[in-house]
Amino acid sequence: MERVRLFVVVASILVMCVARSVGGEEVADTLSACDFPAIYNFGDSNSDTGGISAAFYPMASPCGETFFHRPAGRGCDGRLMIDFIDGVSPFSLDIQIAQYQQLKSRTTSLYNRAKKQPRRFPRVDDFSKALYTFDIGQNDVAAGIRKMSDEQFQAQIPDIINQLATAIRNLYDQGARTFWIHNTGPIGCLAVTLHYLHNPSPDYVDRRGCVKFQNDMARQFNRALKQKVFQLRKELPLAAITHVNVFAAKYKLLSNAKKHGFLDKTKICCGYHEDNNHVYCGNKGIINGTQVYAGSCEDPSLYISWDGVHYTEAANHWIANQLISGSFSDPPLPITIHAIGFNLCSSFHICNSFLAYKLTRN
């Protein structure tokens, strides 16, 4: 099952409805402060803010150089999509759910012990007001590509999706009500694949130069995920479940990289990849008898790919801007009115505008 990272933003980090901009372009107008006391994220390394770093080994330079100016647990140069809107992580989904349950069960005790500084811990009632995001799938698809035939992978998809659905039902039974479900991106467009692809046959790549069969496997996974989201809406009538087509948003960027101010999608910012010699981001290697340090490019903001697999902060921010508009969501509503559209404001006193939040520390 997809390895995921539970990202808990407790009440000590203020969640604000703030306007974000890239290159001076505002994504939305500031309205008012939101009342989401926490965001609980279950995701792979595309949204992992420190799972590997905390459990096994810290991220090394040059990761984090763009925003944090130091390694900050993320497998790219700065912030992730979740840092704007709402490495493989060492913990599977069932373990993450267990961690969440443990946190929730201890909350009352922790909160009562912290009466002098109660905002440092989530209140019991805050769990029903929190936002629960899921950003998974890429590792499952990648494993399918490496180890399985198309038929074998198709047979595995229902089990993977059902495990996700079980996790959502579990959270719902514990009071969770607001869910964002991201599908997986176009893995056949990742630079780690395309960088080594030379003169492919016309039937191997699509019209944008991405590997067809890999993207087809991602689409199969995404179709099953979307169907499950529709089913869960019927099963969980009090939940607000939004399906977000991250595949389409990322494919839009990758298909027209230069149009959107980036270099070609095959370019990798961090790492040494020349003449079939490869030293991966932040590592040292010996090339023709000489030690080579695989550092970052001069300007990461021009690149879509940070290390061949993970997106740069600039690319993550561009994608986040697209998602905020609601044009890639089902239902197709801007984030600013999702809460009202689902009648959550009256139920949980959640404001009608939640655009982004800023992490001021790890």
Whether the link from the prior residue into 62 is cis, omega within 30° of 0, is yes
- Crossing angle (nearest 10°) for helices 246-255 and 313-324: 120
pLDDT at 359 over 60: no
Residue with the larger pLDDT of the pair 338 and 63: 63
Q: Which one from 307, 329, 338, 353 is the annotated catalytic residue? A: 307
CA distance 213 to 188: 7
Q: Find the helix or strand (DSSP H, E) in which 43 lies.
A: strand 39-43
The per-residue pLDDT for 117 is: 57
Note the pLDDT tens digit of each residue in 131-173.
898 987 888 888 888 899 989 999 999 999 999 999 999 999 9
- Residue of 101, 23, 87 whose CA lies nearest to 59: 87
When computed from its CA atoms, the radius of gyration of the chain, rounded to whole angstroms, is 20
The residue ranges of every structural domain in the chain are: 34-268+303-358
Residue 201 neighbours by CB under 8 Å, 6+ apart:
none
Residue 275 neighbours by CB under 8 Å, 6+ apart:
none
At 70, list the tokens.
Answer: 């130091």
Whether the link from the prior residue into 158 is cis, omega within 30° of 0, is no
User: If you average pLDDT over residues 70-77, what whole number do you get?
Assistant: 82
Mean pLDDT of the chain: 77
Q: What is the pTM of this model?
A: 0.77
Q: Which one from 44, 45, 86, 338 is the annotated catalytic residue? A: 45
**Which architecture does CATH list for 34-268+303-358?**
3-Layer(aba) Sandwich (3.40)
Q: Which one from 182, 310, 317, 338 is the annotated catalytic residue? A: 310
Q: Is 310 a catalytic residue?
A: yes
CA distance 36 to 38: 5
Q: How many CA atoms lie within 13 A of 120 on its CB side?
A: 9
- Crossing angle (nearest 10°) for helices 150-173 and 93-113: 20
Note the pLDDT tens digit of each residue in 236-246.
999 999 999 99
Residue 321 neighbours by CB under 8 Å, 6+ apart:
20, 22, 25, 27, 84
The per-residue pLDDT for 241 is: 93
